């Protein structure tokens, strides 16, 4: 369970509050290496270095989290449990037959097998669920660090990760977020390349707010309530270079005493949305921040439209929203955040 204190601003009753406070994630795995070398998780490596280091300096009492902010996490937690329940069910063979699974797969499916079992049974079809791996890496300065990661599932050598999210997230997903998915799955493959052999991974998006009618009406809307996003994995060599570079950055930043000395979070790390350039035919509407005549993704396109309108009107640029700061543990100590958000 997280060390951050919890608040209950909505004054939820005992049952709902207990459900939201119940964190089943394995934060302190029993199979973790027992030496003195630090352990860094795959998901930690995806965080901006400044956010990671500075976040550890925020006193827990200054970084409370409200129970309402845990709803999405608990829904995802429940779905993960449901997926495991289906695979470990006594009715699993019947379920697999109903969905058209080949009989030889049903007969030979083994869950989380040891390597020895696979060597003894060449016909075995392995399926790995919620498995954690550890692998040591050496930073440029000689510091040894354990990298850990727990993948959701691996079948036929292909790693998959399950994410519960909104349709808005799918439609607004930019290249930096897709790159994060590829890095995360690539690290899982680097941790266990004998089990994860495919060069392509899958993100399974489970949408909380999917509506059938919107799928045919809205561009880029997810086609199904559960949709796959294939991601090309990095090579093992490229993944290792990424890990070492990130560990080097973290080790160099940790001794820095002042937040201003730390490397700034890059724009692509901030989940920044594109700027919006709004054309107002009536300048008075622009002054009142009223409804724009037309919105554009680029300033030249807005200028071109204004020129076609005879040069009449004004264009106002609205910076894209920076979303990561709202979820960052380092927010209470970060001055860079104040450039995008006001308290």
129 and 114 within one domain: yes
274 and 242 within one domain: no
Boundary (domain end) residue, out of 208, 226, 261? 261
Cα separation, 259 vs 327, in Å, equals 18
In-domain check, residue 295: yes
pLDDT band at 255 (very low <50, low <70, confident <90, very high): very high
CA atoms within 13 A of residue 66's CA, in its CB half-sphere: 7
Rg (CA), the chain: 24
In-domain check, residue 53: yes
Q: What is the pLDDT of residues 46-59, one digit of tens each?
A: 999 999 999 999 98
In-domain check, residue 1: no
C-alpha of 171 from chain center: 15
Bridge-based pairing of strands 200-207 and 226-232 is antiparallel
Closest CA to 149 of 26, 34, 329: 26
Q: What is the pLDDT of residue 188?
A: 98
In-domain check, residue 257: yes
The answer to whether the Cα torsion of 79, 84, 88, 94 is positive or negative is positive
What is the count of structural domains for the chain?
Answer: 2
Cα separation, 315 vs 293, in Å, equals 10
159 and 44 within one domain: yes
pLDDT surpasses 80 at 343: no
280 and 170 within one domain: no
129 and 67 within one domain: yes
Q: Residue 299's domain spans which residues?
A: 268-339
Q: What is the pLDDT of residues 272-323, one digit of tens each?
A: 888 899 999 998 898 888 899 999 989 999 999 999 999 999 999 988 888 8
């590829």: which residue's tokens?
A: 182
Closest CA to 226 of 284, 275, 308, 165: 165
287 and 201 within one domain: no
Contact 192, 55 (CB under 8 A): no
Boundary (domain end) residue, out of 261, 280, 297? 261
231 and 85 within one domain: yes
Q: If you write DSSP's letter for every residue of 182-221 in order, what string do you get?
A: HHHHHHHHHH-TTT---SEEEEEEEESS--HHHHHHSTT-
Domain CATH for 203: 3.90.320.10
Boundary (domain end) residue, out of 208, 236, 261? 261
Say whether pTM exceeds 0.85: yes
pLDDT surpasses 60 at 2: no
Q: What is the pLDDT of residues 56-84, one digit of tens each?
A: 999 888 888 999 999 999 999 999 999 99
331 and 242 within one domain: no
Strand partners, 135: 147
In-domain check, residue 34: yes
274 and 161 within one domain: no
Cα separation, 79 vs 85, in Å, equals 10
In-domain check, residue 68: yes
Q: What is the pLDDT of residue 321?
A: 82
């Amino acid at each position: 369970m997280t060390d951050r204190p919890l608040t209950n601003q909505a004054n939820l009753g005992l049952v709902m509050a207990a459900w939201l406070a119940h964190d089943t994630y394995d934060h302190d795995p029993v199979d973790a290496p027992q030496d003195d070398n630090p352990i860094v998780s795959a998901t930690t490596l995806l965080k901006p270095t400044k956010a990671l280091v500075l976040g550890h300096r925020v006193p827990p009492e200054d970084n409370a989290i409200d129970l309402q902010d845990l709803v999405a996490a608990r829904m995802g937690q429940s779905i993960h449990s449901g997926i495991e329940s289906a695979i470990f069910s006594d009715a699993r063979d019947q379920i697999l037959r109903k969905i058209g699974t080949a009989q030889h797969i049903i007969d030979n499916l083994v869950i989380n097998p040891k390597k020895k079992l696979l060597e003894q049974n060449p016909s075995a079809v392995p399926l790995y669920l919620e498995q954690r791996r550890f692998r040591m890496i050496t930073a440029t300065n000689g510091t040894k660090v354990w990298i850990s990661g727990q993948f959701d599932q691996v079948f036929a050598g292909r790693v998959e990760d399950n994410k519960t999210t909104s349709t808005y997230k799918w439609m607004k997903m930019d290249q930096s977020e897709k790159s994060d998915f590829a890095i995360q799955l690539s690290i899982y493959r680097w941790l266990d390349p004998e089990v994860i052999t495919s060069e392509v991974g899958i993100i399974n998006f489970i949408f909380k707010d999917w509506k059938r009618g919107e799928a045919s009406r809205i561009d880029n809307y997810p086609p199904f309530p559960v949709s796959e996003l294939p991601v090309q994995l990095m090579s093992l060599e490229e993944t290792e270079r990424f890990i070492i570079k990130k560990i080097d950055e973290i080790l160099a930043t940790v001794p820095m005493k002042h937040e201003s000395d730390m490397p700034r979070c890059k724009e692509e790390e901030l989940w920044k949305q594109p700027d919006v350039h709004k054309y107002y035919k009536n300048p008075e509407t622009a002054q009142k921040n009223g409804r724009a005549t037309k919105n554009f993704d680029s300033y030249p396109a807005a200028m071109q439209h204004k020129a076609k309108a005879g040069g009449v009107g004004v264009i106002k640029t609205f910076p894209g929203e920076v979303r990561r700061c709202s979820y960052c543990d380092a927010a209470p100590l970060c001055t860079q955040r104040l450039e995008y958000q006001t308290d």
